[in-house]
């Protein structure tokens, strides 16, 4: 599914470093670390009238990713919240909004990898757009397995939510070429890791399974689904899952802030049943409770 331009986003205000800029002036320097080496961390947030879904979890993950990458001047949560608040208010956004929150290591005094060249402090970008859920969750998505492996900690820990997602982008290109919606990535051992931009779950019998977070982002939506299962006494297990197990699952679904919960109806040409009762139950539980996970900025 290819996202389309939303005319409500034509005159956006974007927060960069310390203030808001109109969309056509919202730019970072060619010396910024994100341009130089993808040296940045990010979060995707969803806004409902009740607040931002799992705001604290997202801010904690942003801070943790920045700490792992040894950013020296990570902004406080209060600063980030204030920047988000200013951006949402300036754009009149209270619903159907997605925020791409990026923290770059900032501008360098000259091009190069060395973080000691970053002498202007980090750069926070709050890009909020009107963006309803990106998939049609009633019809589901078709995916193909990709030859691109998802990183594990032996190369670049998938627990860092960084801007170096080229292997995921290559997986998405493979899916595009095949005319499918997303690329399914395996870990270096050949077990299922995740889709190129969302986590995966499968239903078998009365149990829900999801891959260990060894080679996938430990998604916040993934965490919400696991917590919902526990709260409603639905058996949930993390496991090493092979493609064969997914092909023969009773139901498969993807999770992420962009699309929330999306049934996967085909993997590598194998049809996956879309009407499993347990899968439908968890999809409904999520839909009816997601707003209770919203947190206000102040």
Ligand X SMILES: Cc1ncc(COP(=O)(O)O)c(C=O)c1O
> Please, what's the b/e burial string for 69-81 (b: 16 or more CB within 10 A of its CB; e: otherwise)?
bebeebbeeeebb
Q: Using CB under 6 A, pick the residue from 17, 159, 222, 266 that binds ligand X.
A: 222
CB nearer to ligand X: pick between 217 and 236: 217
| 220 in contact with ligand X (CB under 6 A) | yes
Binding mask 239-268 toward ligand X (x if CB under 6 A, else -) reads: ----------------xxx-----------
Q: Using CB under 6 A, pick the residue from 129, 181, 187, 194 that binds ligand X.
A: 194
> Least distance to ligand X from the beta carbon of 198, Å?
5
By the 8 A CB rule, do 98 and 129 touch?
Answer: yes
- How many Å apart are CA 68 and CA 280, to the nearest integer? 38
Helix (H, G, I), strand (E, B) or coil at 67: helix
CB nearer to ligand X: pick between 44 and 211: 44
H/E segment holding residue 282:
helix 277-289
| 184 in contact with ligand X (CB under 6 A) | no
Closest CA relative to residue 106, chosen from 88, 118, 115:
118
Binding mask 11-50 toward ligand X (x if CB under 6 A, else -) reads: ---------------------------------x------
Q: How far is CA 47 from CA 20, 155, 294, in A?
A: 19, 33, 8
| 210 in contact with ligand X (CB under 6 A) | no
Place of tokens 């040409």: 269
Binding site for ligand X (CB under 6 A): 44, 168, 194, 197-199, 217, 219-222, 255-257
């Amino acid at each position: 599914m290819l996202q389309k331009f939303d005319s409500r986003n034509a005159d956006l205000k974007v927060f960069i470093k310390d203030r808001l800029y109109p969309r056509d002036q919202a730019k970072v320097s060619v010396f910024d670390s994100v341009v130089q080496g993808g040296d940045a961390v990010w979060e995707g947030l969803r806004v409902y009238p009740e607040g931002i879904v799992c705001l604290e979890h997202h801010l904690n993950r942003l801070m943790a990713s920045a700490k792992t990458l040894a950013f020296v001047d990570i902004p406080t949560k209060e600063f980030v919240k204030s920047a988000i608040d200013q951006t949402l208010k300036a754009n009149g956004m209270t619903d159907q909004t997605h925020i791409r929150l990026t923290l770059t290591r900032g501008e360098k005094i000259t091009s190069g990898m060395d973080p000691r060249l970053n002498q202007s402090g980090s750069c926070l970008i709050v890009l909020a757009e009107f963006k309803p859920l990106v998939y049609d969750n009633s019809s589901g998505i078709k995916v193909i397995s990709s030859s691109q492996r998802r990183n594990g900690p032996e190369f670049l820990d998938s627990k860092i939510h960084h801007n170096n997602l080229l292997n995921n982008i290559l997986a998405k290109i493979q899916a595009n070429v095949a005319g499918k919606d997303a690329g399914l990535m395996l870990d270096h051992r050949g077990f299922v890791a995740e889709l190129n931009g969302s986590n995966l779950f499968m239903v078998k019998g009365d149990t829900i399974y999801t891959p260990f977070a060894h080679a996938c982002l430990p998604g916040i939506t993934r965490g919400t689904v696991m917590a919902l299962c526990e709260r409603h006494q639905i058996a949930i297990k993390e496991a090493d899952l092979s493609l064969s197990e997914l092909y023969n699952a009773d139901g498969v679904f993807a999770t992420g802030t962009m699309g929330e919960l999306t049934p996967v109806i085909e993997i590598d040409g194998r049809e996956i049943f879309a009407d499993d009762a347990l899968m439908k139950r968890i999809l409904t539980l999520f839909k009816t409770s997601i707003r209770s996970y919203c947190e206000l900025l102040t």
